[in-house]
Amino acid sequence: MRQFNIFLCALFISTAIVAQEVKPVKNVIVMIPDGTTLGVYSAARWFKFYNDLGEGLNIDPYITGTVTTFSSNAPIGDSAPTGSAYATGVLQQTGNVAIHPETSENDLLPVDASRTYQPAATILEAAKMEKHRAVGLVVTCEFTHATPADFSAHHYKRGNYTAIAPQMAYQNLDVMFGGGNGILTDDIRQHFTHNGTTLIQDDKDALLSYDGKGKVWALFGEKALPYNIDRNPDKIPSLAEMTWKALQLLSKNENGFFLMVEGSQVDWAAHANDAAAMIDEYLAFDEAVGRAIAFAKQDGNTAVVILSDHGNSGFSIGKRECPGYDKLSIDQLFAAVSKYKLSANGLESLLINTKPEAFRDVFKKYTEIDLTDEELQTLLSSKNYKEADYTKVGTSNNMAHNIVNILNAHTCFGFTTGGHTGEEVLMAAWHPQGDVPRGNMRNTQLNEYLQKVTGLDSSLQELSDRIFVKHGDVFAGMNYSIDKTNPDFPVLVIKKGMNRLEITAFSSVAKMNGKPFDIGSVVVYIDKNDTFYLPKAMKEKL
């Protein structure tokens, strides 16, 4: 009964949202500061004020409401399902990337079991296929990470980069800026050669000077970019610089564009409980917001939607170890963090190569903190490596974690966890006619707004039912088999008379009698039900 009532409430609200008049625009920009809670906005504003960097944030004039983000079966969301809800309008479980979830006894709203594992078409795919617009992604994580994958790939497991990376490459994105050189495969490189994609690697100048009309990927580092506070500005572009270049290139398309920009590592710094890195990451994202809003206002036919995908860490300005909270001066609250010149990870990378007798000098140089004997001993006895799992940096006994504890001991910032939290997140928006989402919305309702402002003629679900159909339904009555010689990339083989159609998993290129042709969308294979999902129209090829 409770779930039914929730469903009716959601349906009522959803109907109200759909009824809202929203004028479609030519260009749509979605900006996601991953894992950013309300406390981060507040700290970033005060940080700017304290350091004479100006008052307020670029996002401030455009805040319109909040979004309640959640998974299909849990109020606290992970980036994969929550970002996917924005991208597809479909609630999903932890780990899911743009795919219909399995049912669960804890489902918050009804889940259609008949659709389990069906890929869910994204707003990016619809903009490309239905509106013939240029599409792009700009991030500071590796390009296969959850949020960029949410908009451009499909799988039940976010960590399966073997399945996700080729999908993103075969989406034929017009722009992909971020990290992940170490994830590129020979097949991806060959596809870039075939479809005319320019690949720029670890070359900031080449990216910022690029002015071609073709597709372009620019990647920095083996996986993610460094934290902005640790970034070498001569070698690595800022998120704002990458965003501005993406806007310049995508706007050449006469049909318009869709762009998703993610401030990926606000979330990572929150996981690590690293206040200085977290504030700096958000400010770097906010600079990109300023660029996007400036473009939208000048263009006059662009909408911008800015919102986080979930909370993280329970960050607060004030903690129980700082009594007299209402009498703490701004200096007491923001002086220490303003002196931190590296993230805990950045400082760790220096200290693990530093002789013990020099620890105090190095720590003092980058934090202005004089280490006590006890603090020094803690650092010297910690694990002498960087924690591989960014979600555990705030809780495991690695050096970065111990550095964070020392840094936080000198501030009045509090953290309740090293994981995600369930509070609603801020929403901001710009629309040339003022048709922005307002009040409190659910993450799926935000997707409804994106569909309307993009001007789609058919829904994302209708698109899903055209391009992600089970192979048994598409080729019913025909002779087909699945070649699993390469288990990572099975090949669906269909024979009819003298014709042989070969369709490789996670690709958008198939072969008819050995001759390659473009399918128009990626083909997804799900091993759990041994099924290919592909366009209904593929039957016509035979």
pLDDT in tens, 236-295: 999 999 999 999 999 999 999 999 999 999 999 999 999 999 999 999 999 999 999 999
What is residue 55's predicted lDDT score, i.e. its pLDDT?
A: 86
- Cβ-contact 277, 269 below 8 angstroms: yes
Query: Domain spans of the chain?
Result: 2-314+418-465, 329-413, 468-541
**Residue whose tokens read 């309307």:** 452
**What confidence tier does 394 reach under pLDDT thresholds 50, 70, 90?**
low
Residue 490, both tokens: 């099975």
Residue 141's SS3 state is strand
What is residue 380's predicted lDDT score, i.e. its pLDDT?
A: 87
pLDDT in tens, 421-444: 999 999 999 999 999 999 999 999
pLDDT in tens, 440-494: 999 999 999 999 999 999 999 999 999 999 999 999 999 999 999 999 999 999 9
Which of 416, 453, 425 lies closest to 437, judged by CA?
453
CA atoms of 512 and 491, how far apart (whole Å): 13
CA atoms of 329 and 158, how far apart (whole Å): 44
DSSP H helical segments within 458-512, as ranges? 460-467, 471-474
Architecture of the domain whose range is 2-314+418-465: 3-Layer(aba) Sandwich (3.40)
Task: Kindly report the number of other CB atoms within 10 A of residue 64's CB atom.
Answer: 18
pLDDT tops 50 at residue 17: no
CATH class of the region 468-541: alpha beta
